[in-house]
Amino acid sequence: MSVAKVTEIISSSSKSFDDAVENGIKRASKTLKGITGAWVADQKVTVKDGKIDEYRVVMKVTFVLD
């Protein structure tokens, strides 16, 4: 029997939402072992001088406990 846990992370990128997701998973993988999936719970942008400055995603990351 496996037991999984879900944790929430926030990640950002100056390029795109996709890049923000990639950055978040890459960073989470450094400290969370056994990641099996993730879903984007929310997306946001910050705006500066009328242009998108940063893309942000709130993700729920699932990982299996040892």
User: What's the CATH number where 26 sits?
Assistant: 3.30.1660.10
Contact 6, 41 (CB under 8 A): no
Q: What CA–CA distance (Å, rounded) separates 46 from 66? A: 38
Up-side HSE of residue 26: CA atoms within 13 Å toward CB? Answer: 9
Q: What CA–CA distance (Å, rounded) separates 5 from 8? A: 10
pTM value surpassing 0.75:
yes
Query: Cβ neighbours of residue 35 under 8 Å, at least 6 residues apart?
Result: 25, 28, 29, 61, 62, 63
- Domain residues for the domain of 33 are 3-65
Ranges of residues in the chain with a pLDDT under 50 are none
| Structural domain count of the chain | 1
**How high is the pLDDT of residue 9?**
98
